[in-house]
Amino acid sequence: MTKDQHNYENLSLLKGGEKDYPDSPDVATLEAFPNRHPDREYWVTFNCPEFTALCPITKQPDFGHITIEYVPDKMCLESKSLKLYLFSFRSHGTFHEEVVNKILDDMVGAIKPKKARVTGEFNPRGGITIKVVAEL
């Protein structure tokens, strides 16, 4: 395969018109495509300023801003599958610390980046904001 050819057959969510959101990150799928510049170290950043998850105790929604940064190795994360994956937390009960670490673990499992960082900045609850950063 030449550098100009694309290998996107495994991107089922992007070309499938997927609109059904998974209800848990455990059943969501992170898809990837080949990095066309593996010889270059560069950062990719995704921002999700409208992230929502549920408090595992009260079941009330928690809102925050998730930032995902990584240096790809052989694979890159496909953004629509990431969107559906992040949406899956909307009906999932979890603590902020768990959210950030799960996102990092799942991303690393999917693409095995050279470097990665996930930051969660969560809106105040009871007058306290929480910022969680997990790195590879």
Catalytic residue positions, numbered: 55, 62
**Helices then strands (H, E): number in the chain?**
3, 6
Phi, psi of 12, deg, nearest 5: -70, -35
3-state secondary structure of 59: coil
**How far apart are alpha carbons 7 and 58 in whole angstroms?**
45
Closest CA to 28 of 65, 82, 79, 69: 82
